[in-house]
């Protein structure tokens, strides 16, 4: 058996300020940089789904036809140019033929300038070429907004089960096993799909804590023969189209078994809706609480600056939490990573030890945020090259471009030339900041940072400083959500909001 493999990953926040260009995928922006052909096989030891798929299929003696793998940091829409160029390479390879099955490593929440459902569009183009009988198996991110088109044109979809995403390669392994099942049985799987009727805040999806941890334990228990696969994607609650939202689905060669598994999970989440809500702190509340806790702590207190998380579409340069730390006299505090290539370049021109006047960050244009105009001391400079040593992307090389550590009063700020979510401690270290030695760390992240930082944290606080990504989906200016979808757990439906607004 010969299997065509490819990957194309993007999580789209339709409310975000910056689009994903072709160059975004070339760089990777926290994902592996774009690779083609045989170089795709080098991802076998990287914690991405295609890596796990490759290892299983090579061990099984399957021949692989690698095409392309490309991913970019969450942002606004994928440009038409990027979608057609990368998707076009995949479609061209499919048109060439010479394979027996297809595996695609996709995200599931891609919105392009022309298509609300990027993955559904790509899969429909693939299926149009290969016909109905060829197995097409797809791995998806836990944050996928899974659509009817995706279900219709894939033989099977399988999603991550951890957030932070430490099981990406394992998900690729599960996809490989499902494909082997399909090839052995030579008949389609029965599918049961259930749509959850409320949006879940991203911070509430963390599988290290309840209720998500409990939900996925039950999911794993349900995945026993004759049930082949069970998935729950809480969705990405920042894509303004009718199919945005959480989805549960199950596959089995026994139709009733698939339905029973999906029904059991659905009953659990709907019956426990209130557990999925999330409390948030204001910037001042978070700063004051961090200062209070750190006074007697032996480890850093971590504040998640969740609404400027580049992993969900933020630009990683809002200054709300920096200002709050300064207002309240925080000491031994570090903030990372601020994306401001001009500030990093100015620091490199000035050199270590220099004091420079800057308008730092504040480039997202969100209400309540602006650049921080001040004098900063340049404490450290680097070329921004580092290695991921944390659980996510472990062993991969990363590049932030020229990096600087700028100090103002008791606050150190890691400044980069490339946008990247801080889900690995080495993103601080590349700026000369030892995270374990800080009293307070402000991370431009929502949940992924927990994979590497939770082990050193005295406490973790979640702050709602002004930023492009509303942590509470009820705060977003929805226009196209499904009428009956509740905009937060136990919140009003979209149609009810429209009635009130009218």
Task: Output the pLDDT for position 477.
Answer: 93
Contact by Cβ (8 Å): 251, 229: yes
Task: Output the pLDDT for position 395.
Answer: 86
Instruction: Look at the pTM and tell me if it is higher than 0.85.
Output: yes
Three state DSSP letters for 179-194: HHHHHHHCCCCEEEEE
Rg of the chain on CA atoms, in Å: 22
pLDDT digits 0-9 by tens, 437-476: 999 999 999 999 999 999 999 999 999 999 988 899 999 9
Q: What is the DSSP letter of 15?
A: T
pLDDT tens, residue order, the chain (502 aa): 899 999 999 999 999 889 999 999 999 988 999 999 999 999 999 999 999 999 999 999 999 999 999 999 999 999 999 999 999 999 999 999 999 999 999 999 999 999 999 999 999 999 999 999 999 999 999 999 999 999 999 999 999 999 999 999 999 999 999 999 999 999 999 999 999 999 999 999 999 999 999 999 999 999 999 999 999 999 999 999 999 999 999 999 999 999 999 999 999 999 999 999 988 999 999 999 999 999 999 999 999 999 999 988 899 999 999 999 999 999 999 999 999 999 999 999 999 999 999 999 999 889 999 999 999 999 999 999 999 999 998 888 999 999 999 999 999 999 999 999 999 999 999 999 999 999 999 999 999 999 999 999 999 999 999 998 889 999 999 999 999 999 999 999 999 988 765 5
Beta-bridged to residue 353, according to DSSP, are none
pLDDT digits 0-9 by tens, 226-244: 999 999 999 999 999 999 9
Q: What is the DSSP letter of 64?
A: E
Task: Output the pLDDT for position 501.
Answer: 56
Which superfamily does 1-187 belong to? Response regulator (3.40.50.2300)
Strand order in the sheet with 2-9: 35-36, 63-71, 2-9, 101-106, 136-140, 156-159
Task: Output the pLDDT for position 25.
Answer: 97
User: Average pLDDT, whole number, for the chain?
Assistant: 96
Task: Output the pLDDT for position 500.
Answer: 63
Task: Provide the strand spans (E) within 283-435.
Answer: 301-305, 333-339, 355-360, 372-382, 385-387, 397-399, 403-408, 411-416
Contact by Cβ (8 Å): 477, 23: no
What are the sequence ranges of the domains in the chain?
1-187, 189-274+472-502, 283-470
Task: Output the pLDDT for position 137.
Answer: 98
Task: Output the pLDDT for position 459.
Answer: 97
Phi and psi dihedrals of 92, rounded to 5? -60, -40
Integer Cα distance of 50 and 69 in angstroms: 9
Task: Output the pLDDT for position 185.
Answer: 94
Phi and psi dihedrals of 40, rounded to 5? -60, -35
Task: Output the pLDDT for position 30.
Answer: 83
- Find all residues with CB under 8 Å of 439, minimum gap 6, and list them: 294, 297, 300, 301, 330, 331, 332, 333
Contact by Cβ (8 Å): 229, 173: no
- Give CA angle at 131 (84, 22), nearest 5°: 10
């Amino acid at each position: 058996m010969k299997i065509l493999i490819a990957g194309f990953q993007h999580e789209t926040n339709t409310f975000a300020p910056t689009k994903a260009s072709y160059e975004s995928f070339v760089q990777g922006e926290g994902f592996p940089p774009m690779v083609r052909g045989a170089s795709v096989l080098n991802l076998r030891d990287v914690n991405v789904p295609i890596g796990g798929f490759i290892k299983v299929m090579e061990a099984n003696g399957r021949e692989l036809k690698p095409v392309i793998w490309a991913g970019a940091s969450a942002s606004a829409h994928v440009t038409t140019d990027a979608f057609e160029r990368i998707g076009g390479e995949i479609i061209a390879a499919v048109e060439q033929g010479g394979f027996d099955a297809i595996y695609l490593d996709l995200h599931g929440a891609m919105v392009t300038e022309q298509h609300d459902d990027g993955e559904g569009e790509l899969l429909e183009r693939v299926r149009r070429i290969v016909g109905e009988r060829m197995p097409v198996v797809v791995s998806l991110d836990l944050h996928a907004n899974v659509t009817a088109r995706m279900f219709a044109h894939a033989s099977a979809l399988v999603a991550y089960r951890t957030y932070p995403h430490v099981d990406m390669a394992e998900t690729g392994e599960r996809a490989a096993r499902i494909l082997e099942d399909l090839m052995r049985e030579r008949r389609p799987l029965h599918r049961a799909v259930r749509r959850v009727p409320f949006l879940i805040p991203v911070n509430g999806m963390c599988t290290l804590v309840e209720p998500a941890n409990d939900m996925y334990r039950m999911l794993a228990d349900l995945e026993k023969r004759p049930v082949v696969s069970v998935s729950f994607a809480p969705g990405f609650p920042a894509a303004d189209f009718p199919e945005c939202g959480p989805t549960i689905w199950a596959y089995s060669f026994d139709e009733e078994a698939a339905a029973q598994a999906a029904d059991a999970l659905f009953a659990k989440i709907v019956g426990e809706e209130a557990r999925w809500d999330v409390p948030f702190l204001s910037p001042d509340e978070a700063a004051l609480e961090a200062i209070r806790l750190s006074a007697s702590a032996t480890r850093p207190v971590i504040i998640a600056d969740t609404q400027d998380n580049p992993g969900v579409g933020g630009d990683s340069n809002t200054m709300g939490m920096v200002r709050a730390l300064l207002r309240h006299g925080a000491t031994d505090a570090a903030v990372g990573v601020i994306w401001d290539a001009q500030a990093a370049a100015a620091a490199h021109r000035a050199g270590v030890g220099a004091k420079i006047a800057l308008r730092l960050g504040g480039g997202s244009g969100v209400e309540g945020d602006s650049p921080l105009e001040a004098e900063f001391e340049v404490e450290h400079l680097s070329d921004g090259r580092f290695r991921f040593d944390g659980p996510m992307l472990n062993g991969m090389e990363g590049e932030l471009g020229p990096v600087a550590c700028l100090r103002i009063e008791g606050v150190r700020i890691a400044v980069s030339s490339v946008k990247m979510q801080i889900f690995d401690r080495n993103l601080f270290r590349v700026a000369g900041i030892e995270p374990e030695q800080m009293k307070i760390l402000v991370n431009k992240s929502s949940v992924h940072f927990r994979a590497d930082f939770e082990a050193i944290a005295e406490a973790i606080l979640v702050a709602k400083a002004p930023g492009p990504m509303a942590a509470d989906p009820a705060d977003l200016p929805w226009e196209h959500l499904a009428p009956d979808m509740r905009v937060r757990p136990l919140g009003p439906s979209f149609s009810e909001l429209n009635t009130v607004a009218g």
